[in-house]
Amino acid sequence: MSKIHLSKSRYCKGVQCEKILWLEKYLPDYSIDGNDAVLEKGREVGELAKGLFGDYVNVPFDIDLTVSIDKTEELLKNKPNVITEASFGFENNFCSVDILKNDADGVEIYEVKSSTKIDDIYIDDAAYQYFVLSNLGLNVKKVSIVYINNEYIRESELELDKLFKIDDVTHEVLKKQTEIKNNIEFFNEFMEANDSEPVKDIGMHCFKPYDCVFWDYCTRDLPKPNVFDIAGMFKSKKLEKYYDGKISFEDLKNEKLNPKYLEQIDFELNNRESKINRKAIGEVLDSLKYPLYFIDYESCQYAIPEYVGTKPYQQIPFQYSLHIIHEKGGPLEHKEFLAEADDMNLIRNFALSMIRDMPENGSVIVYNKAFEASRNREIAKMYPELKDEMDRFNDNMVDLMIPFKNRDYYTKEMKGSYSIKYVLPALYPDDEELDYSELSLIHKGDEASNAFLSLNEKTPDEQAKIRKALLEYCKLDTYAMVKIWEKFKEVIH
């Protein structure tokens, strides 16, 4: 009998890296919190998928797993066609089946994922469930993965049969049964044999299938900065250098690497002065035409499309901040838009507000043109009558990120990155007005997205605080672009 308690999620963690099981048990405080928003998306998708096959009976979660197991056993005797969260335990191996179809001949397992494709780890998950149920004597006739169809476009009513794809993975699951048994035995032996922290080197398993929450702990003794701090390098290449003993920047300085990587290393080791290509920066400034519209969008993604005409995980623009300078030497004006979370015409209202706020053919100045330009094209496709205006914005768009991406402007403090969160403090060190950490509640884009997605679940007072924080955050993004433009003028003149 297994001596350690496994669930399907703990089993999958062990498949990724057995040391995760040990660290979770003995050093849980060293983990970095996972992405709660991803878990919430998974919960929402799982709840919706329960109705995929019509009426169902749900087994409520109970912290005492035997209660859920006993309830499932009782339901199986009564033979309802569909049971959700059906719970089973075999020799300390526990699982809840997202959707269990049940009839006189046996059962079918449906594992629900909020992903848009099937990952290998999902097969491990489903195979573990088959192992538990089949060892309890159930006839498991079929095992399937239910996942999101990202080509589905929502109409007025949500169509579950089109939103979800279902792939039969029974063949793959059956092939893994010996592996499942061996893994469970290995995890038990591993945990029993290691009273003190086991030795396990880092590798691709630290990133696949998920970024490990113990990465910082397991790399705590590496020199700083190290190969994993090189911006833009593939993880596989970083690990190749790590295994070759080329770990610190000093180790790497004479390696054959991309010139940008070597430049980051050189600037760090030798404390180089700023590199400024005044000709390239001058060309950016010369391309600008008044009025200057400094604009930044915030967006969010719904796994289950919320708005008519949108797809799962489509980027939904819900907010913008806009700083305007109408003429040379003119004052700085600020405008903004933040949608109501329950506005079913949110995207159209976002676009109409932009059209009102940017009526002239001035330069539309952004940081990372690909993002805003893509949102504008999506809006144009959804609302053909707005296409001319969206095209006008894109035709007038100027990307302030390019000089940093091309290393026409680079400093040691940018740490190889051209993200505005690195560039801004490098250009304006110790300026509290430009310090994102000084903001309340929201300090980066994913926090803004998650905050907007959570609005409808909050009290009116909480909503007011979140909306205020969203406006402050987005406003700083466009004010940051104004300050970058000013810095460009300063270094040229």
CA dist., res. 52 & res. 160, Å (int): 6
Same fold, 8-191 and 274-493: no
Topology, domain 274-493: Nucleotidyltransferase; domain 5 (3.30.420)
What residue ranges in 32-181 does DSSP mark as E strands? 57-58, 82-90, 93-103, 106-112, 140-148, 164-168
How much is the average pLDDT of 345-373?
Answer: 97
The whole-number pLDDT of residue 195 equals 86
Residue ranges of domains in the chain: 8-191, 222-270, 274-493
Task: Report pTM.
Answer: 0.92
Helices (H) and strands (E) in the chain, counts: 20, 13
Please state, in angstroms and rounded to a whole number, the distance separating the CA atoms of residues 465 and 454: 12
Q: Which residues of 388-423 are buried (b: 16+ CB within 10 A; e: fewer)?
A: ebbebbbebbbbbbbbbeebbbbbbebbbbbbbebb
- How far apart are the C-alpha atoms of 479 and 322, rounded to whole Å? 9
Outline where DSSP puts E strands in 306-390. Answer: 315-325, 332-338, 363-366
Q: Which CATH code of 3.90.320, 1.10.1060, 1.10.132, 3.90.25 fits the domain covering 8-191? A: 3.90.320
| pLDDT of 139 over the 80 cut | yes
pLDDT over 90, % of the chain: 91
Whether 140 and 126 have beta carbons less than 8 Å apart is answered as no
pLDDT classification of 455: cutoffs 50, 70, 90: very high
End-to-end CA, the chain: 76
Reply yes or no on whether the pLDDT at 489 is more than 70: yes
Quote the strand ranges of 113-210, DSSP E.
Answer: 140-148, 164-168
Cα separation, 399 vs 442, in Å, equals: 24
The tens digit of pLDDT for each residue in 150-182 reads 999 999 999 999 999 999 999 999 999 999 999
